Amino acid sequence: SLTQSRHSRHLGACAAALARFGDLGDSGDLAVAAEQLRVARRELGRITGHVGAEDVLDIIFRDFCVGK
């Protein structure tokens, strides 16, 4: 179904972000590592229904071309 496809896409994006985080190892840049964890959390939030201010701003700028 559409919902399962959406969930699968978000889980795949979460897994990819976590894999990139894992690939950094101990010598990786902390800012890059934190960003990958943030992306993974955001993708899980999209499945669970958690919507943060960043998500709202992303939609506004993407859909309404504000600031371009």
For the residues of 17-35, what is the DSSP string, one character each? Answer: HHHHHHHH-TTS-HHHHHH
Mean pLDDT of the chain: 84
Average pLDDT over residues 41-57: 82
Domain chopping of the chain, boundaries: 2-63
Query: Can you tell me the distance from the alpha carbon of 13 to that of 41, in angstroms, rounded to the nearest whole number?
Result: 10
Query: Can you tell me the distance from the alpha carbon of 24 to that of 45, in angstroms, rounded to the nearest whole number?
Result: 23
Query: pLDDT higher for 15 or 61?
Result: 15
pLDDT band at 9 (very low <50, low <70, confident <90, very high): very high
